Structure 1
Amino acid sequence: MIKRALISVSDKTGIIGFARELEKRGIEIISTGGTAKTLMDAGIKVVNVSDITGFPECLDGRVKTLHPKIHAGLLAIRSDEEHMRQLKELNIDTIDMVVINLYPFKETILKDNVQLEEAIENIDIGGPTMLRAAAKNYQDVVVIVDPSDYDAVLKEMDETGDVSVKTKFKLAYKVFELTSHYDTLISKYMKEQLGEEFFPENLTLTFEKVQDMRYGENPHQKAVFYREVGSNSGCISSAKQLHGKELSFNNINDANGALDLIKEFDEPTVVAVKHANPCGVASADNIYDAYIKAYEADPVSIFGGIIVANREIDERTASEINKIFIEIVIAPSYTKEAFEILSQKKNIRILQLDNISAKLPEGTYDMKKVAGGLLVQTYNNQLINMDDLRCVTEKKPTQDELEDLIFAMKVVKHSKSNGIALARNKQSLGVGPGQTNRIMAARIAIEYAGERSKGAVMASDAFFPFPDCVEAAAKAGITAIIQPGGSIKDQESIDACNKYGIAMIFTGIRHFKH
């Protein structure tokens, strides 16, 4: 039976109503600090913690509940005669319910310009200690951390006169889920304050649920979308959906890849993505022309794809987009007329991402889950180093070719490996992604480009192991190539370029993406 409840909450949602219901059921309420004042102001009788412990709060409230009379009352096993004898001997009463949520550490660190001292002061000590004690002794203590559980606990008490062990265990699980999340936020914040890039010996990550999904990558798979706590500037998790159906697992994954690619560009650019690979990318003086070029890059693959623009979508651009079936449009903003046009289609997802060009912060993890483990690396935030570019052929690229080579490298960097991309006039013409050999990737890109490959440039995410890609490029009329270099057979590709009059640049930076 529940006779005494200790209540101390920073989130006071629903707490007055819940405490009043406990009081009606004859349960004594213990509290402290601001919670005690809130309850007393509401006319609820409260016993102050210091009256239980016989010790006043001290150190600006840092020490209130850290006392044997609290923790013995929580940890005593009621069925253990020796435990109960010791409580009686020490004049300690049991505490049968704990209702606690923690100092707002997350809310504090997410504030602008928060100082380290303020963040540290919002690390709760007594709260997690009491929660863990109560959860450890879940068979005898009801522990509540989530206001949404108040009504269910009251209902069960009314129906059975108590709270079942099954419910107590579920509530205890929520405690350790919360305290683990809480401690991980603290360690993550402190690691960031060190300002050093390192991989800890024990990596603990925490995310918050955004939504349950209808299904995963395939209909028979269950899925959930979680968001990382902290700065998500420019990420799909911080986009605002203005219209359309709920995002699917594949929508989110594909949109993430499209956003990674759009961040490579400063000028007005449109990226079209299908199955996590770019199928049309173009830059221009304005977003309308960029969209037209991106569409014309591959009008077949763009159907049913995702479009991301790094400038406001205007009426003209929206009218063109609406001519075909598009799953998602993401942009920093939309004119009123553009939104009205796009939203005429019931199911199109229209997302607004104000800071769409924001770069990911240094130290951001890129993670790949494997069975039984996790691969972790820093994000691939580098494209090329202009000072390290090296022309290895007799023919040098023109300035226009060099700009297109860099453009094509941006595209292929965000294509699955092995990848090849062709481009001209800052427009992708053909992308050959995700092939098991590089010559096949080159052939696919060239086939997509067709006659447009004449005068185009080629980018490869990794080195050419053989001169076959150069030979295919020469046959297609490609005039310049950019690739990392580094093969033991580099000279064969260099010789082939010289033979066919093709300029070739080595970057020294590989961009595998699996």
Structure 2
Amino acid sequence: MLEHPKPLTRALLSVSDKTGLVDFARSLVELGVSLISTGGTFKAITEAGLPVKEVSDVTGFPEMMDGRVKTLHPAVHGGLLAIRENPSHQAALLAHGIATIDLLVVNLYPFEATLARGGSFDDCVENIDIGGPAMIRAAAKNHADVAVVVEPSDYGAIIAELTAHDGSTTLPLRRRLAQKAYARTASYDAAISNWLAREIGEETPAFRALGGSLIQPMRYGENPHQSGAFYRTAEVRPGVATARQLQGKQLSYNNINDTDAAFECVAEFDPARTSAVVIVKHANPCGVAEGASLREAYEKALACDPVSAYGGIVALNQTLDADAARKIVEIFTEVIIAPDATEEAIALVAARKNLRLLLTGGLPDPRAPGLGFKTVAGGFLVQARDNAVIDDMPLEVVTKRAPTEAERADLIFAFRVAKHVKSNAIVYAKGGATVGVGAGQMSRVDSSRIAAWKAAEAARTAGLPRSLAEGSVVASDAFFPFADGLLAAAEAGATAVIQPGGSMRDDEVIKAADAAGLAMVFTRHRHFRH
């Protein structure tokens, strides 16, 4: 027996996305449903030769104010909101000649698409839907009697249910559609409110809304006992959320998190200046390098920590070519992400059926503003994206010895990478490549020692007699509170240091650097990443 079946006799259709509209309308008509419509939707249905009544004939008022006012009328909202089993509601319908509406089909003006294509302020305002959200919320509130559809992908479910249940919809379907409807209007309003906050320079609005559309449900989240899903927001930024996956199995929660970390890091390297590769494991870079080619950069990045690179994520800042692809597929890799790939490279990757290849069409701008979110019990934190870039920071030499040109280049490289390493972060670099990375330790000294140990292990793996850290430079994401972390780097063989500065003991650290013969520069910018 059906749970609260409701016959569907009258539907209102008003959509900006006409995908599947005519076929859906035809199916409704064949099932005996009478149609009401507006504007372009009415025109499309009429041109298909289907019977449909214009909403102005229902309301008695023409569309006005460039279409801003057409459905905001009791003849529409009364038909949506009337409780069918409420005698007073039925009496009101009868007294005012209002007919009930059993199905509302609305998708909203394309505000997000207008924003994504860089529409002007006025264009964005004109694409803010008013009547659509009002009708959607009304129909969703009255889902005990009314079905509401907000995207074409649900047309099939409506037709299947009507066909299976003698022209009626069931409460479970109507409730599912109502939940989606409220989520859609919430996501829509979130995009608008966040856009307006940016436009007026409001960094801490009294209410902060979040919204997104489902990209894919996941088998689980970070761990198998956690549920997970991936959503796309209105932000226009090349990356995992907008990438085209050419092959490989579905990305996992951890794959997506790690791939995003890798791609954001590699975007720090201007593709017009250099080829760059980032290898990430557990959201931390385990190898980063620049090179004359992507293959050279990959080989240098891999040499930093070949053990951790196994099963990692590889991000590139240029089009993946066959030479680089041939080298990358020699070891097990979970994901390759790049702006583009040659056909030969795609074919080489295709031979590894479980390897995912993502193409983004571009790189995210490391200087672009944006927001980051982190949940806490009972709330969430919001902050501006860390869009500080080392190229924009004047480097202040604070030691007696200034860095050499080679050291200076490596210092800039190392600090560029340190921005994307979990705090406390220490990065050793030499010759445009990381040679040791220490991440996520409670003590900066421990991070420095771990990075030095990694450099020594990499040298042993490569059959070299001395640690890769010898003759390197070292970057710290935050100041050295004591000289011990800096001295640990000197003991490992580093010759120059880059750090934000700002410690109460800066003088003590500078004196220690001078005593050790180190060159040191301050950036006055911290890059904590927790």
Q: Which residue of 1 aligns with 2:144?
A: 139
Displacement after TM superposition at 1:25 (Å): 4.3
Q: What residue in structure 1 maps to residue 523 of structure 2?
A: 507
Match of 1:321 in 2: 328
Deviations 1:417-454 (A, max 9, x none): 11111111112111111111111111111112222222
Counterpart mapping for 1:79-158 below 5 A: 79-111=85-117, 114-158=119-163
Q: Structure 1: where are the runs of 5+ without partners?
A: none
**Superposition RMSD in Å:** 2.4
Partner of 1:247: 251
- Indicate if the aligned counterparts of 1:385 and 1:507 stay in contact, CA closer than 8 A: no
Cα displacement (A) at 1:227:
1.6
CA offset digits 1:38-88 (Å, max 9, x no partner): 333333322332222222333333322222222223222232222222332
Q: Please give the secondary structure, in 2, of the residue aligned with 1:73.
A: helix
- Larger displacement relative to structure 2 (140-149 or 457-466): 140-149
When normalised by structure 2's length, the TM-score is 0.89
> Which stretch shows the higher mean deviation, 334-343 or 275-284?
334-343
**SS in structure 1 at match of 2:113:** helix
**Partner of residue 57, structure 2:** 51
What is the CA distance between 1:387 and its match in structure 2? 6.1
Structure 1 residues 207 and 476: CA distance shift in structure 2, 3 A: same
Separation (CA, whole Å) in 2 of partners of 1:419 and 1:475: 18
SS at match of 1:236: coil
Name the SS for the 1:475 alignment partner: helix
1:338–1:132 Cα change, 3 Å: closer
Query: For residue 352 of structure 2, what is the aligned residue in structure 1?
Result: 345
Q: Tell me, in whole angstroms, the C-alpha distance in 1 between the residues paired with 2:489 and 2:39.
A: 75
Could you tell me whether the CA contact under 8 Å between 1:197 and 1:363 is conserved in 2? no
In the alignment, which residue of structure 1 is the partner of 2:464?
Answer: none
List aligned pairs for 1:144-223, cutoff 5 A: 144-161=149-166, 162-194=168-200, 196=201, 198-223=203-228
How many residue pairs get aligned? The number is 510
Per mean C-alpha deviation after superposition, the further-off stretch among 314-323 and 461-470 is 314-323
Which secondary structure state, in structure 1, belongs to the residue aligned with residue 184 of structure 2?
A: helix
- The CA deviation at 1:192 is 4.1
1:355 to 359, 362, 368: 362
Distance 1:511 1:238 in 2: 26
Task: Determine if contact 2:114/2:124 at 8 Å carries over to the other structure.
Answer: yes
Counterpart of 1:41 in structure 2 is 47
- Cα offset for 1:513? 1.0
Residue 389 (structure 1) aligns with: 395
CA distance change for structure 1 residues 508 and 165 in 2, over 3 Å: closer, same or farther? Answer: same
Contact 1:484 1:507 in 2 (8 A): yes
How many Å separate the matches in 2 of 1:42 and 1:338? 46
SS at match of 1:93: coil
Q: Which residue of 1 aligns with 2:12?
A: 6
Shift of 1:158: 4.5
Identity %: 48
- Equivalent-residue separation in structure 2 for 1:151 and 1:337 (angstroms): 40
Residue aligning to 1:268: 275
Deviation, 1:3, is 3.6
The aligned runs of 1:349-428 (5 Å cut-off) are 349-356=356-363, 358-360=364-366, 362-384=368-390, 388-428=394-434
1:463 counterpart (449, 471, 479): 479
In 1, Cα distance between the equivalents of 2:425 and 2:257?
Answer: 19
Query: Counterpart of 1:491 in 2: which secondary structure?
Result: helix
The one-letter code of the counterpart of 1:303 is Y
Distance 2:136 2:115 in 1: 23
CA separation of 1:210 and 1:166: change in aligned 2, threshold 3 A: closer
Amino acid at match of 1:186: I
Is the CA contact 2:311–2:332 (under 8 Å) kept in the aligned structure 1?
Answer: yes
Q: Please give the alpha-carbon distance, in whole angstroms, between the structure 2 residues aligned to 1:166 and 1:14.
A: 24
State which drifts further: 10-19 or 248-257: 10-19
User: 2:301 maps to what in 1?
Assistant: 294
Deviation at 1:190, TM superposition (A): 3.3
Following the alignment from structure 1 to structure 2, what is the Cα–Cα distance between the partners of residues 452 and 22? 71
Compared CA separation, residues 137 and 510, structure 1 to 2 (3 A): same
Q: What is the TM-score normalised by the length of structure 1?
A: 0.92
Deviates more, 1:73-82 or 1:298-307: 73-82
Distance in 2 between residues matched to 1:259 and 1:430, nearest whole Å: 20
Aligned partner of 1:252: which letter?
I
SS of structure 2 residue aligned to 1:300? helix
Give the equivalent residue in structure 1 for 2:36. 30
Query: Displacement, 1:388?
Result: 4.2
User: Which consecutive residues of structure 2, in runs of 5 or more, have no partner in the other structure?
Assistant: 1-6, 457-466
Runs of 4+ in 1 over 6 A off after TM superposition: none
Asked whether 1:225 is paired with 2:230, we answer: yes
Q: Label 1:385 to 1:56 Cα distance change in 2 as closer, same or farther (>3 A).
A: closer
Relative to structure 1, the CA distance from residue 58 to residue 153 in structure 2 (aligned partners, 3 Å threshold; closer, same or farther) is: same
Specify the code of the residue in structure 2 equivalent to 1:332.
Answer: P
Following superposition, the deviation at residue 348 of structure 1 comes to 1.6
Q: Secondary structure in 1 aligned to 2:278? A: strand
Residues 313, 489 of structure 1: alpha-carbon distance in 2 compared, 3 angstrom cutoff = same
Distance between the aligned counterparts of 2:393 and 2:122, measured in 1? 42
The amino acid that maps onto 2:178 is A
Closer, same or farther: CA 483–360 of 1 in aligned 2, 3 Å: closer
Counterpart contact for 1:383–1:509, Cα < 8 Å: no
* AA matched with 1:281: V
- Cα distance in 2 for partners of 1:346, 1:164 equals 42
Give a deviation string over 1:88-127, Cα, whole Å, max 9, x none. Answer: 223333333322222333333333x533333333332222
The 3 A distance-change label for structure 1 pair 292 and 400 is same
